[in-house]
Amino acid sequence: MVLQALLLAGCGGDATPAPQPSASASSVADAAVTRPAGEERLVLAFGDSLYAGYGLDRGEGLPETLQDRLWEEGINATVANAGVSGDTTAAGRQRLAFALDNLPRTPDLVLLGLGGNDALRQIAPAETRANLAAMMAELDERGIAVVLTGMLAPPNLGGDYASQFNAIWPDLARQYQAPLDPFILDGVLGDRRLMLPDGVHPNADGVERIADRVTPIVAKALSA
């Protein structure tokens, strides 16, 4: 089963860093993508190892790839990487205010993606929901737009767990009228060509596939 891999490995923890501006893959590779003109938009990518770029070279993570894609579309966006490998929703809830307050200004958008490590640890879905709801409420109170990237429970945790867990992101997206990518690893998890050897994290090609789906959602949210 495609989600079975999520139970095979965790995502090692790091000390909580301040958000870092993404080094675009193009700047690292000395490619042609350059920052476009226009008003700069600030996006905070706040998540776990799937945002942090676990196992990837500099410039290959999702925040960096997303920034490149936005530049290619003529959107002058800086995507600050606040991904921390191993983060649960509880850990994210504890550090969200710190991440926001350590940016140079209030972001125009937060890309929020946590929950995979909750499933790995079999944390009760009610706790995951409460933590994500608290983060959404914090962002709403600060007047910051959000794009959610969701997660699905591994099937061997059982139907009851999955039904409660999987509903969290669509429910919160409806409640806060936030754009949603329902499953961040859709089309990637289970494809060895797109995954690192651990079977849990995307490789650079996998990140590109995720960016194919997420970039238009972020671009639309920034233009709203």
pLDDT in tens, 153-172: 999 999 999 999 999 999 99
* pLDDT of res. 31: 52
Given pLDDT bands bounded at 50, 70 and 90, which one contains residue 28? Answer: very low
Reading the block at residue 99, the tokens are: 């991440």
* pLDDT of res. 15: 47
Is 98 a residue whose pLDDT tops 90? Answer: yes
The structural domains of the chain, with segments of one domain joined by +, span 40-223
Task: Give the phi and the psi of residue 112 in degrees, each rounded to 5.
Answer: -110, 120
CB atoms near residue 70 (< 10 Å)? 25
* pLDDT of res. 33: 82
Q: Is the pTM of this model over 0.85?
A: yes
Q: Which of 180, 185, 179 is nearest to 210 (CA)?
A: 185
- Residues forming the active site: 49, 198, 201
CATH class of 40-223: alpha beta
* pLDDT of res. 16: 53
* pLDDT of res. 3: 45
Is 135 a residue whose pLDDT tops 60? Answer: yes
Q: Which of 173, 171, 180 is nearest to 140 (CA)?
A: 173
The mean per-residue pLDDT over the stretch 59-72 comes to 97
Length in residues, the chain:
224
* pLDDT of res. 219: 98
